Structure 1
């Protein structure tokens, strides 16, 4: 029996006891979620290890339904006394809530029955010294990239592996072993009376799938150096090209608009928008919970409901929301298995060709703004009004002329989504989302 199988067996036994205690205490339904993990983290800053940590974490969350009311409590004590205390706390917490017809557990017919192998568990058996040496390689690569890179805000390498469990009194029980590894680098470039911080990172389920530390350091350094000498541009209306990593942020706005919580609260202009034309017809958005080694791959969500391989946007039309069980019941819709969020979204265009890399997208932009980074908030999801600070480059005749900073970009999300002229083949993956660069026909630039 492997280490994670031994841990999983213990967690399953503890979950079973907790549900027995809850039933004896009058719970009509019980859900038990457990996560046990070990993580190692090293941060290197200017060739000094400023963080070295090894942590073990464990948390059990018990949710009970009693008299039509739902409440939860958390603990890390798996002893019989500890389990009784957390159950009693959850039961007591129901007194402070109101009956809610949407609060119950998933029906048995809604629960996941098939559990494909997703290859999510790749623990790394490295010492903190090994991890620190890996981080130092990224910082060295960044510092060696150019004479203007003279300092670092740090390189962090983190590796974590663990086991998650979900069990319900409705008969569902499943454990998932998983791992996640990451590297992030933030060098500092110095210019004439200024400094700019670059940032680049990568994450993966298997450590060997990460970008090399030299690649991460070099990209981060290029981004810092490229921002030196940034200036404002005149206030104007112009086309905007969002590089792929910035485009993922726009995709996150769509997910927020189409999430069950926003729809239930009436805080989204997409409520009632299924089958409406949201993007131009060439735009497609797919979701796949079952990508092997995917950072957002899952066989089931927080209620035990399986996700779906599906088209969220098809030929520009919105085809689905992101619904956990509770929000789906509140909206009188079918849950989509998104209780933990979206699964491996991929935005694409039927018009994109293999040669449509970032250089080709800049040629298509011809004259306008490239956005590499957005800062601050400023999105009204009910109206769609969008305004954020931005950094990037000004492009003339399809080529970068100078870096831009200290500006705002503004529009309306409906207009932005509807104004997507092209999506590049320069796709990048950030957690749960994959997208190429977006070319939007026009946005208001607030500068000088």
Structure 2
């Protein structure tokens, strides 16, 4: 990667940095076959085609009566009820001219029938049925109407959802080939960090990033291996990173990538591998870094909790999704009116913690939390997503603004 900005003299635009990271995405993990019950959220590793027609036979779309449209006169027909067929029955008796057959939703049409009339649209008189005019094919689900043998069902690289599992089950598939979860090592950097539940000495803080970033990774289907907190020494950083690179697919750290005298991670990366990128043109999250050790990608998130969360969502997420074998990694923002003024332009793209609220006119608009500091997670917990204000832009309330929903980002 050229012009990486590692000297700190320049900031890499966010979109350019994400595109550059994609060039370093490793091949997808090995594949495994799993039962459908275990496939939710996994990444499909092969194209799926339907092994059968769906439906497998012409069947009724509702409870009513199967009949022959050829029996219809100008005002309908009076038909003899010749029997009953329910879902699960085999339709073996052929319907003769002048006959109708009671039928239930999903039941196969008897031979000779080509239409169905809903039970509420006709009159029953003993063994006779009076029907209005019925169009040919009315209320019939035809064989192969949804899928024919060989039709494309799902494409490799898709994250499997509940409806995808149901679709595969509907054509009789009970197992599916998926990529095994990406294995990510998560490390925190900072002598000041303590775990929740421990007491704090002066100058110490609780390790929020371990929980917020770790939860994001698990929500993205990643297998997380937590190496805990690194001591703020070059030797400790080198040892932990070297061990992690020998065991896991991707390394992610939080903290230790800024310009402080005790931020050793970048130096450790340079000694063990390569530092490809440092510092992005975004706020929060400027100190993000990216490199590799022994061919294993490393993402260095900032230490400030809001900055770590935002850079994980915006930059690390598409890279990790691609590394898991996902084919679609982009998320499309929605454009909605801003519910705030932004009078002063910033030199970096802003990712503001925001949520959608209904205005007095009943139209949804984007509202900001008043606390936008890079160390403050309260705003992110309050928010539904991120309002994106481009570098150099000012705006007035009511102007259109992109909004990235947390749900679309997998948060």
Q: Which interval holds the TM-score relative to the shorter structure?
A: under 0.3
Bigger share in strand: 1
Bigger share in helix: 1
**Higher RCO, Cα 8 Å, sep 6+:** 2
TM-score relative to the length of structure 2: 0.20
TM-score relative to the length of structure 1: 0.19
- Rg bigger for which structure? 2
